[in-house]
Structure 1
């Protein structure tokens, strides 16, 4: 089974954008991210502090690797691994009944509590990273392929932002005594 070149490029660009945004978020408010890492209660305090510095660097390296063809396979494996790590940490805390901690995923005005939806989202992202491990078909790219990749990236970015907004709506309404 081979993956069309446009699909592979769209996934690579989308994941690279995602990892750049994630790294930027973590570096721009390091204290908040370190607090989020500690809230998971999976590591000692010192290890959590070290991890809060290491993860943004790894995410930035993954983003660069996804854009450089020679490193694409390694970057896709690393992306799936990091996302699996995040998903496992979320699942452990959900199993503990600890939903009210900030996932530490992206900057927002309010904390993003853990949910099964975040786990499902990450599983989808892991699947996307794994698609990049499949052989890519060989053909010449045309201008319409470039347009399709950019349009796909814009559409997925808008859908991502809408999903992020919606993920904050439910918890905010519950906090006000609304949606149950």
Structure 2
């Protein structure tokens, strides 16, 4: 099945935007992110700085690869699945009350939630589907580029809204 090239470009540039922003937030909040990585308890605490640097490099690589080629979406999906696995493992171990380390939206979130795992798996699924499809052979015209820009804007707004919604405290059933 061949995808419309505007849809494929929207997914590729959306993944690139997501990972470029994630890398930027890690660099800007360096002391915070090394603490977040340590709190996940997946490696010795002294390795947190090295792991943070590795993740920044991987995210920059995923952003560039996704922007340049649909094949780059495989790396984006792998990182999303890695993050979903880290969140899921910590929830399973009962280590829920840590900062998720997510983007700047709802920063400092004190609790991991199943919705975060679902979000990352859904994004990885979209990336994998797009990576396995070819684009229809047709020339792009100006409206296609405008459509891609609109998709990216809408996608970013929806992502931000979902992040803020996930950060809201759970509603008390007795209210």
Helix, strand or coil at the partner of 2:65: helix
Distance in 2 (CA, whole Å) between partners of 1:60 and 1:169 is 30
Q: Structure 1: 5+ residue runs without aligned partners?
A: none
1:57 to 2:64 alignment: no
TM-score, structure 2 as length reference: 0.90
Give the Cα separation in 2 of the matches to 1:10 and 1:108: 21
Work out the CA distance in 2 between the residues paired with 1:132 and 1:164: 23
| Deviation larger for 20-29 or 77-86 | 77-86
Unaligned runs of 5+ in 2: none
Paired residues in the alignment total 171
- Asked if 1:21 is matched to 2:21, the reply is yes
Give the aligned partner of residue 81 of structure 1: 78
1:33 aligns with 2:33: yes
Q: Which residue does 1:160 correspond to in 2?
A: 159
CA distance in 2, matches of 1:179, 1:143: 50
Offset at 1:132?
2.7
Shift of 1:13: 1.1
TM-score (norm. length: structure 1) = 0.88
| Contact 2:106/2:167 (8 A) holds in 1 | no
SS of equivalent residue, structure 2 residue 79: helix
